[in-house]
């Protein structure tokens, strides 16, 4: 919710200048008069509105907002997919240090081969989202190496993938 509010406020601050309203007036809470526009005339092929002119900086801000929205959606996907496995494997204890590490119980060699050292030396040292990201990368790699077979990919977590109904 907070991320969406920040994104909306950022977008508003970006678009205020594009609409010809000074940021000083908007920030001061001064009443802003927006000229009434005539309805867009119907055209046989399409309805078009005049384009909004954005500065290069505003375009960059929009790119960042789109990127952050994509990251938020990817994190939600990871949490939905991997939290049940972590709940089964480690009771969602993301900092287990033993024969198998982290919330998803990585073998140190698997963590390394999957690219986990991008984030931390061992899985238990990485954040939950980082562990989920590496698990997802590893899952997709195993599936791809086996004809895109999710059953084989879930075999990396044999007991828990069955228990949560993934295979």
pLDDT, position 24: 52
Which whole number is the average pLDDT over 33-40? 48
Structure confidence by residue, pLDDT tens digits, 126-158: 999 999 999 999 999 999 999 999 999 999 999
Q: Is residue 155 part of a domain?
A: yes
Q: Is residue 39 part of a domain?
A: no
Give pTM, 2 decimals.
0.66
Quick one: 48 exposed, middle or buried, by C-beta within 10 A (0-12, 13-18, 19+)? exposed
For the chain, the straight-line distance linking the first and the last C-alpha, in angstroms and rounded, comes to 33
Q: Is residue 16 part of a domain?
A: yes
Half-sphere exposure of 166 (CA within 13 A, CB side): 22
Which are the contacts of 139, defined by CB distance < 8 A and separation ≥ 6? 153, 154, 156
- Asked whether the CA dihedral 148, 123, 75, 54 is positive or negative, the reply is negative
Percentage of the chain beyond pLDDT 70 is 71
Which are the contacts of 151, defined by CB distance < 8 A and separation ≥ 6? 167
Q: Is residue 47 part of a domain?
A: no
Q: Is residue 45 part of a domain?
A: no
Structural domain tally of the chain?
1
Structure confidence by residue, pLDDT tens digits, 86-130: 999 999 999 999 999 999 999 999 999 999 999 999 999 999 999
Q: What distance in Å separates the CA atoms of residue 129 and residue 136, rounded to the nearest whole number?
A: 10
The closest of 77, 89, 74, 73 to 164, measured between CA atoms, is 89
Q: Is residue 50 part of a domain?
A: no
Structure confidence by residue, pLDDT tens digits, 16-31: 454 444 545 444 544 4
Which CATH number do you get for residue 104? Answer: 1.10.530.10
Query: What is the SS3 assignment for 69?
Result: helix
Owning domain of residue 15 = 2-23+56-163
Q: Is residue 14 part of a domain?
A: yes
């Amino acid at each position: 919710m907070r991320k969406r509010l920040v994104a909306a406020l950022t977008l508003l601050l970006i678009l205020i200048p594009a609409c010809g309203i000074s940021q000083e007036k908007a920030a001061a809470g001064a009443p802003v008069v927006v000229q009434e526009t005539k309805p867009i005339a119907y055209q046989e092929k399409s309805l078009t509105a005049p384009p909004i002119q954005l500065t290069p900086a505003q375009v960059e801000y929009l790119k960042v907002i789109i990127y952050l929205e994509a990251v938020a959606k990817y994190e939600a996907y990871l949490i939905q997919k991997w939290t049940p496995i972590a709940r089964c494997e480690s009771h969602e204890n993301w900092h287990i240090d033993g024969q198998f590490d982290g919330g998803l119980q990585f073998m140190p060699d698997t963590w390394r081969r999957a690219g986990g050292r991008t984030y931390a030396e061992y899985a238990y040292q990485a954040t939950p989202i980082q562990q989920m990201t590496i698990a997802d990368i590893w899952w997709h790699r195993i599936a791809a190496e086996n004809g895109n077979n999710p059953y084989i990919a879930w075999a990396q977590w044999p007991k828990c993938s069955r228990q949560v109904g993934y295979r």
